[in-house]
Amino acid sequence: MPFHKTVKSSAYFSRYQTKYRRRREGKTDYYARKRLIAQAKNKYNAPKYRMVVRFTNKDIITQIVTAEISGDKVFASAYSHELRAYGINHGLTNWAAAYATGLLLARRVLSKLGLDKQFTGVEEVDGEFTLTEAAEGEDGEERRPFKAFLDVGLARTTTGARVFGAMKGASDGGILIPHSEKRFPGYDIESKELDADTLRNYIFGGHVSEYMELLADDDEERYASQFQKYIDDDVEAESLEELYTEAHAAIREDPFKKHETDAPKKTKEEWKAISKQYRTPKSTKAEKQERVQARIQEILDQE
């Protein structure tokens, strides 16, 4: 079969339809977004909530978002760097941190809605697959749980992925997120069963402690390099489960707790001075002309 040269005439360009900006930038999967934000017509203007989970190099971002004509509105958010207020200072992007961040988000949302007493979620974490069900309200009537749909963005939904850790945390926190157990670590595709102990191990950082022990035995130099911050703060492999257990309890007690640092707080004047410190002042027209003339003179002198 002969090859033909691709000819893009004016007719081609006049009919070309530009894709959405965020599609051109490779930031949004509009095939998924269209289906995530479409609301049933018989629900009229009821908002449809999404649990948005995004990972950066050093942080985990979780948000409850609803789409409106004017743009997306964030109802509540939680970040893994906020876990420092609950005693988690290391591994802020691992599976256990993802679970804790999802739990923090769920408790914040329910506290804002006044549903935190009715929907407590899973208080004793055992790794079993559960979905939040309706509960009895203060007036004695049945109350449906707050419902959100998982939005993973462009992340690959592989078995054991961290996005499902955040989802599991939010689900155990009392939010209804429709899902199955098929993508949790510990799910066996052949027997089609979930190993709850494996999932619980991930929730409490067991996989991290196992790796710490392995490196400590096999390669002390690499262990000292890779877990330097853990060693500096006297965090040992055996104490990780207790650390996460205490953090989960603290999150449930106060989901809006702020991290207190020893650094002295700066006044507004001090912050202004710092921000102005790095600004490059604009040159006047006379200064620019003077600089040009000085440069011309330098060139003439070299000749």
* Alpha carbon distance 169, 51 (integer Å): 12
* Alpha carbon distance 122, 133 (integer Å): 11
pLDDT digits (tens, 9 = 90+) for 115-143: 999 999 999 999 999 999 998 877 778 89
Closest Cα partner for 164 from 182, 176, 147? 182
pLDDT digits (tens, 9 = 90+) for 215-243: 999 999 999 999 999 999 999 999 999 99
* Confidence band of 1 (pLDDT split at 50, 70, 90): low
* Confidence band of 303 (pLDDT split at 50, 70, 90): confident
Mean pLDDT of the chain: 93
* Alpha carbon distance 300, 298 (integer Å): 6
Q: Tell me, yes or no, whether 163 lies in a domain.
A: yes
**What is the average per-residue pLDDT within 285-292?**
96
* Confidence band of 268 (pLDDT split at 50, 70, 90): confident
List all residues 6 or more positions away from 241 whose beta carbon is below 8 Å from its beta carbon: 204, 205, 206, 209
* Confidence band of 38 (pLDDT split at 50, 70, 90): very high
* Confidence band of 262 (pLDDT split at 50, 70, 90): low
Total tally of structural domains belonging to the chain: 1
Give pLDDT, residue 183.
95
Q: Tell me, yes or no, whether 218 lies in a domain.
A: yes
Give pLDDT, residue 269.
87
Q: Tell me, yes or no, whether 126 lies in a domain.
A: yes
Q: Tell me, yes or no, whether 89 lies in a domain.
A: yes
| 198 neighbors 126 (Cβ within 8 angstroms) | no
For the purposes of burial, counting CB atoms within 10 Å of the CB of 108, is it exposed (0-12), middle (13-18) or buried (19 or more)? buried
Give pLDDT, residue 78.
97
* Alpha carbon distance 40, 17 (integer Å): 29
* Confidence band of 201 (pLDDT split at 50, 70, 90): very high
Q: Tell me, yes or no, whether 293 lies in a domain.
A: no
* Alpha carbon distance 121, 119 (integer Å): 6
44 φ, ψ (degrees, to nearest 5): 55, -120
Q: Tell me, yes or no, whether 22 lies in a domain.
A: no
Q: Tell me, yes or no, whether 52 lies in a domain.
A: yes
* N residues, the chain: 303
Which domain covers residue 66, as residue numbers?
A: 29-257
* Alpha carbon distance 33, 301 (integer Å): 64
Give pLDDT, residue 274.
82
Give pLDDT, residue 279.
77
* Confidence band of 203 (pLDDT split at 50, 70, 90): very high
pLDDT at 176 over 80: yes
pTM confidence score: 0.84
Q: Tell me, yes or no, whether 184 lies in a domain.
A: yes
pLDDT digits (tens, 9 = 90+) for 151-165: 999 999 999 999 999
Kindly report the CATH number assigned to the domain that includes residue 235. 3.30.420.100
* Confidence band of 30 (pLDDT split at 50, 70, 90): very high
* Alpha carbon distance 171, 147 (integer Å): 10
